[in-house]
Chains A and B, each alone.
Chain A
Amino acid sequence: MAEGVKPRVKAPKSASAGEVVTIKTLISHPMESGQRKDSSGNKIPRSIINRFTCDFNGQNVIDVTMEAAISTNPYFEFEATVPEAGEFKFTWYDDDGSVYEDTKAVSIA
């Protein structure tokens, strides 16, 4: 079980209809690769965020598969079109089965 995991999202609170907005996300996570050994020579088991998704009003915006070579605290920056008022839903899937979620509402200005 990874400790200190905390998702963070930066997204605009409002946009004009059809506007392309930039979204930044970051989740603090050690992203243990499974390749390292501890001081007594035992392999440290892999523990990473293996998938990240973003949906807007139920429609998928981005769906990312992550592998072990991605470094600590994975950061994603991407663009999304906002056709209507609604809610972005962000989901991170951990190797240990934990699912971390965050949401950001966007209004139409």
Chain B
Amino acid sequence: MRAFATSRATTSRLAMTIAGALAIAATPLFADEEADLVLNGETEMVVRTAAPDHLSDTLDEIYSGWVFRNDDTQVMQADDFDNPGMIFVDQAMEAWAAADGSEGKSCASCHDGPESMAGVRASYPKWNADAGEVRTLWMQINDCRENQMGAEPWKITGGDMAAMEALISVQSRGMPVNVAIDGPAAETWEKGKEIYYTRYGQLELSCANCHEENYGNYIRADHLSQGQINGFPTYRLKNAKLNSVQARFEGCIRDTRAEPFKPGSDEFIALELYVASRGNGLSVEGPSVRN
């Protein structure tokens, strides 16, 4: 394991107040980089594991972003009541059962309960043979909305989409990410890999410069993770809402002072497949809690 920076935020207790929390009796639970994530005291999550084969030349071990967060944030994700992302899962439960569009159908009309989505989040993005393209989860949701329900597609990075992705993700929590990168998906995966290693922007940074070469180090006040997306959609304390992968990509490339690709672009679809595949073996965590 690469050495992590040892200086810890001494004011991490302050984080308890961020979610509007008035912690009159804060539970003295501590977690750290070596901690294990056990969800609701029962589901053991894989937050560190051997890197998938395609990464064996560059990384020995892969880590969930949860490992890099401070104690309070880690604890917040370990209990569904404390996880603010679960509020949006509740909202998506209502959307799941609500008919929308010209066909008068809801998600439940075809898929029954959301439990039927077990395993879906773990395998996406994946090749769709009928469409002849790699499909992300949000593409599949919007395909259902447009072609099955006759409804307006949701904004890719919007709140409705993030909440629905969270609801679908919850059904796979604890399952290992297992994204296929061979066969027909290989071409898209290669394209995503190329983007991952390409330097963008005035700062001339690639994804790899921060998330492969410098994870565990600080970039100003930010503790760099490996940029794994097994926890998406992710509830960020800084904006108090669920954040989607595509919005995070856009934000990262913007931070390199580049003109970002658009959410939903072919480039970001390829990147989503590639980055997801770097987390093969980690547990699906969404909705995770991050800073």
- Chain B's nearest CB lies how many Å from the CB of A22? 7
Contact with A8, one of B18, B20, B81 (Cβ below 8 angstroms)? B81
**B25 near A72: Cβ-Cβ < 8 Å:** no
Contact with B240, one of A8, A62, A72 (Cβ below 8 angstroms)? A72
- Chain A's nearest CB lies how many Å from the CB of B143? 27
Given known pairs A6-B90, A72-B20, A73-B87, the reply for A22 and B81 (CB within 8 Å) is no
The residue on B at minimum CB distance from A49 is B20
Q: Is A74 at the interface (CB under 8 A from chain B)?
A: yes
Q: Is B23 at the interface (CB under 8 A from chain A)?
A: yes
Interface-side segment among A36-44, A76-84, A85-93, A97-105:
A76-84
The residue on A at minimum CB distance from B84 is A73
Q: Is A71 at the interface (CB under 8 A from chain B)?
A: yes
Contact with A24, one of B18, B20, B82, B90 (Cβ below 8 angstroms)? B82
- Chain B's nearest CB lies how many Å from the CB of A52? 9
Contact with A73, one of B19, B24, B25 (Cβ below 8 angstroms)? B19
**A24 near B81: Cβ-Cβ < 8 Å:** yes
Contacts of B18 in A (CB 8 A): 71
- Chain A interface residue number, banded: 20 to 34
Contact with A77, one of B27, B84, B91 (Cβ below 8 angstroms)? B27
- What secondary structure prevails in chain B residues at the interface with A? loop
Count of chain B residues near A, Cβ 8 A: 17
Given known pairs A6-B90, A8-B81, A26-B81, the reply for A75 and B19 (CB within 8 Å) is yes
Q: Is B9 at the interface (CB under 8 A from chain A)?
A: no
Contacts of B129 in A (CB 8 A): none
Given known pairs A24-B81, A24-B82, the reply for A75 and B25 (CB within 8 Å) is no
**A77 near B24: Cβ-Cβ < 8 Å:** yes
Bound Cα distance from A77 to B82, whole angstroms:
10
Bound Cα distance from A6 to B23, whole angstroms:
20
- Chain A's nearest CB lies how many Å from the CB of B24? 4
**A78 near B81: Cβ-Cβ < 8 Å:** no
Contacts of B23 in A (CB 8 A): 77
The residue on B at minimum CB distance from A78 is B24
Bound Cα distance from A77 to B21, whole angstroms:
8
Bound Cα distance from A8 to B25, whole angstroms:
18
A37-78: contact bitstring with B at CB < 8 Å (1 yes, 0 no)? 000000000000000000000000010100000111111111
**6 A/B residue pairs, CB under 8 Å, sorted by A:** A8-B81, A71-B18, A73-B240, A74-B20, A75-B82, A75-B84
